[in-house]
Amino acid sequence: MDIQLEKISEKEAKTKPDQNSLGFGRHFTDHMLVMPYTEGKGWHDLTIQPYRNFSLDPAAMVLHYGQAIFEGMKAYRGKDGGIYLFRPADNIERMNISAARLCMPQLPVDEVLVALKELLRLDEDWIPTAKGATLYIRPTMIATEAALGVRPAKQYLFFVILSPVGAYYPEGFNPVKIYVTDKYVRAVPGGVGHIKTAGNYAASIMAAVEAQQAGFTQVLWLDAVERRYIEEVGTMNIFFVIGDEIVTPPLGGSILPGITRDSVIQVAKGWGLNVVERRITIDEVLAAQENGSLKEIFGTGTAAVISPVGSLHYKGQDCLINNGETGALSQRLFDEIQAIQYGAKEDPYGWVIRV
Ligand SMILES: *Cc1c(COP(=O)(O)O)cnc(C)c1O
């Protein structure tokens, strides 16, 4: 598929934001990638064009029935000036799993990656150079057919937008306070918890707002059936260091198969550590804290890489983890994975691609 290119004119170029106050997801670059899909014709008109508003019919099916999926990945500016991507094919392949679950069309992975690299080269001046800052990449697919009625749409739009984002930890790690909810659930077995579809995030907002109003940063989700087994924390996967085990809930149910989760498992196993994917209850975690065997808890995700957990609040009780401080393993994993992502350290896994 040829890539059509429509560049901004010089006077359309946006003023770039101050690199030291980027925040997250507030600024967008000059160009975006778009590719429509029409039943019978397939994907067509792969185009890089100026970042601009879409025109959507009010009956566009995504607005009514929520066929919407997305991904989150990053481009990193290496010390050597190179642009690096971390496991990008895994993101597009995961998007295809999301698409299949919602009866949306499959993306051509290789062509999408070629176009993404071209988009990054075109907007490369937007990739921040400040330490820890990155260019966040948001591939998205929505149903655009104008029709009412619950069924798979016949028209879709795939697009990729880019957003320069600041360092997640500008002043070093800051362990988060977590609220364990037994009132709300994120996902049910047989549902869509294992895919990145918009509705999952809409459904999670109320729990997050209530937790924040009570002074916590994120919500820890328990399973929907027994409300005992730990699933995820906010929009991150979760790990527990108990005794000589590193425990994380298994895939295959309602949790998101994080690429950072998988990277942490591989790196820790590569160091000879004992990583176990198994179900773990909130009671087991609290008992481990009581008997002193719980050493660390951390979340994993593209945005933060590693997010140390400083405390858990469950059924009215506060439980301090590792004295509220960042654990040694959290720090070591963060340093290792970030160094690989920025092309600063040898990558024995074949994860990093130079654009
Ligand atoms: C995206 C996401 C994650 C983390 O996935 P990564 O590929 O590591 O970024 C974990 N849980 C949820 C619910 C997510 O949406």
Residue 259, ligand 1, Cβ within 6 A:
yes
User: For residues 243 and 266, what is the distance between their CA atoms, to the nearest angstrom?
Assistant: 19
Nearest atom in ligand 1 to 301's CA: 8
Walk me through the domains of the chain, giving residue ranges and CATH numbers: 4-165 (3.30.470.10), 176-341 (3.20.10.10)
Nearest atom in ligand 1 to 302's CA: 9
Q: What is the pLDDT of residue 286?
A: 97
pTM of the model: 0.96
Burial environment of residue 149 by CB neighbours within 10 A (0 to 12, 13 to 18, 19 or more) = exposed
Residue 302, ligand 1, Cβ within 6 A:
yes
Q: What is the pLDDT of residue 119?
A: 98
Task: Reduce the DSSP state of residue 261 to 3 states and report it.
Answer: helix
pLDDT in tens, 309-355: 999 999 999 999 999 999 999 999 999 999 999 999 999 999 999 99
- Ligand 1 center to residue 195 CA distance, Å? 9
Q: What is the pLDDT of residue 49?
A: 98
Residue 87, ligand 1, Cβ within 6 A:
no
- Ligand 1 center to residue 36 CA distance, Å? 26
Residue 285, ligand 1, Cβ within 6 A:
no
pLDDT in tens, 92-142: 999 999 999 999 999 999 999 999 999 999 999 999 998 889 999 999 999
CB within 8 A of 173, min separation 6: which ones?
Answer: 308, 326, 330, 331, 334
